[in-house]
Structure 1
């Protein structure tokens, strides 16, 4: 789907959800979740292009493939966490959304620790 199609679909979904807000508010939440999932799967289908480009960049500048894989996992964690958090906020559960955001930030930090340790080790080698 193109950006224009996603944008129009989002606007149509929001207008439908607003119509249900006065009577059956849970239908608005269901519409929001359905549209969010549709956009999510549209983005996931486009990720193959991004992965191919990142691999080409990694081959060109001779990056360790483990670091590229780790970077892609971090990107995935951030996207899924933002997606989940947004749905929770739309449903009115800001506390759960905040907990998801905190957990994802910590998960990304934990994944980045080996990179930080390798960087510190490299700096230590240069200094000695």
Structure 2
């Protein structure tokens, strides 16, 4: 799916969900979750293009493949955290949404520690 189709689908879904807001608000939330999952699956379909591009970049600069896989994991964590947080915010649970965002940030920090230590080791080798 291209961006135009996703945009139209998103706006149509929101307009439909607004219709349920006055009477049965839970239907609007269910519609929002279903629409979000559909868009999420469309993004996953496009993810293979990004993974291939990152692999090509990794071959050009000859870096360890662990760094590329870590970068892909970070992107995935970011997307899932934002996706989950957005659904929680739409449902009215801001506290849970903030906790999901904090957990996502901490997971990215944990994933980046080996890369940070490798960078510091490289700097130390240059300085000595």
TM-score (norm 2): 0.98
d(CA) in 1 for partners of 2:45 and 2:23?
36
Q: Tell me what 2:18 maps to.
A: 18
5+ unaligned residues in a row in structure 1: which ranges? none
Distance 1:19 1:13 in 2: 10
Which residue matches 2:107? 107
Deviation at 1:3, TM superposition (A): 1.0
**What is the match of residue 67 of structure 2?**
67
Number of equivalent positions? 128
Alignment of 1:67-86 (within 5 A): 67-86=67-86
Root mean square deviation, CA, Å = 0.6
Aligned to 1:116: 116
| Counterpart Cα distance in 2 of 1:93 and 1:126 | 49
Give the whole-Å Cα distance in 1 for the aligned partners of 2:107 and 2:10.
Answer: 30
| Greater than 4 Å deviation, 4+ residue runs | none
Query: 1:10 Cα shift?
Result: 0.8
Mapped to 2, the partners of 1:11 and 1:92 lie a distance apart of 20
Deviations 1:8-62 (A, max 9, x none): 1111111110100000000000000000000000000000011001101100110
Calculate the TM-score normalised by the size of structure 1.
Answer: 0.98
Give 5+ residue unaligned stretches, structure 2: none
Residue equivalent to 1:7 = 7
Shift of residue 125, structure 1, vs aligned partner: 1.0
Alpha-carbon separation, structure 1, partners of 2:24 and 2:81: 28
Counterparts of 1:66 and 1:123 in 2: how far apart (Å)? 19
